[in-house]
Structure 1
């Protein structure tokens, strides 16, 4: 029995010896770690923040009718350029029965009053010519006659406006819609036969068309509260419009909202920038855009990739190669960063080879 146990122990010992020998053999054959190195380089670093928004016209006007009714004629289409005072549409007035009845009653009352005033004036005129009454008394009836005549004309005009939307007396036509400004028609939301409501104190009215000056466009967007303190009016912006690839537009920041609003769970501030356009540029209203706001810029500075930096407490350092695959830590002073490259103010030269710090778990190669 003892011989069996000793044999088993001996076999285990031999097995472990063989395994350990193989393990140390493999370890001796493992290739040494070789770290990559990179040199500092000269570049231009731009520190910026991004605002998201859209392109809109600076001046956009909604054209609304002066009377309620039905669109009888449309003389323009969306996309067409119109001049100030150009005819846009004609409204067919559908008279309100109650309003027409009241206007007719007022007209009849004014006519009766006027006829009575005229008869009384004729009678008083004869008495005045016979010098039975004084001139002052006669003038009172003359003034009353003039007032009744004006009331009759006003009642006639009111009835005509209620029925037709036009006044022959003053040549005013309220059922014709004109463009108040020069520009491009962005939208004509109504069609012939559409019912429309007039604008008044209690109602905004139906929009017949929307006109805007497409030569004066602005960018309107939002900036996060963490960045708004770094920007100011007059800064340059680079606008990138998603629908127009391969082109960057220039703009100048002209407004920063004094009060922020909650958007997507964060406080953001509205900003507005004036776009710089050429005569040949045509940009449609409503395009979404991103604005790169330049906070700082330095040309031809020595820089390294920000990922190469290492930090310990308040110190910033890199590992510089002194001999092949031998490195020493060197403190550096840094400047502005664009998130990828960072300026090196002091501590490095162009010929220094800096150890590339790879992410944990990454494979190091030669």
Structure 2
């Protein structure tokens, strides 16, 4: 690195803040801030938590319920209510509603829980099938499907009972999984995935994606490791025009991981400038599939995650002339951050 490049890395790594993801801890520079794109899925239940004043939560919830109550279905089910029932919940309500307002058959359900607790607004949803509505009984398919609603409602209630709000800098001492603004208390769920993004404040193209998998969420937990797929990875990288900088095993604080880093041409990165990406993940061949699975990715020259944008908002995305970090800065920052990864004491 040049003296100027080294000064930036020294500035970033001088003040690090501990973050909790799943059952792991990692230290990130203070300038990496929580990105709005996050995900927590616990036993098929999608959970969103955000800090919000109680009066604001009540206003938002009342407005949403008015909207739901005013809607009706379309097509074959035209005129039928969007909401089948509302169930009281401590601090809020559970709504049994159609999947979306354009559906024409109300068998596809979404159970949506909305509640407020100790400074945080919570939303949890799970999908279900209910073929027991009267207008569906002439169809043998729906008669055979029956209803999943009681089972899925029980799952929803079980998840609700074990989640709570959490400040981003709060490090719990009891067993459980940390996620954006929240905490899942107790033993690992049968299948859960938690994803958090942090981006470098003031830059459009540097961010870190952290993912933790508890239990056996097969979509998120790979069946094979990086080293086992080395030949396949090298072929894919070669075809894309990227260059593999390294692909290797690594031990951090006594735990086995695998990592790779690559140099990417402009046609590979989302910002269309030469950039880089790196990945670190649990070596399941050593740690075993029963251990929480951790994965970290870092990107330089890729636009940071964002909620869906309108065409007008997309037009305002700046065209970059180069990635924010040089290759030496990217790799130095990667080494500094990944070296802090460790299991959270008391997490298991």
Shorter-chain TM-score above 0.5: no
| Greater RCO structure (CA 8 Å; 6+ sep) | 1
Larger Rg: 1
TM-score calculated relative to the size of structure 2: 0.20
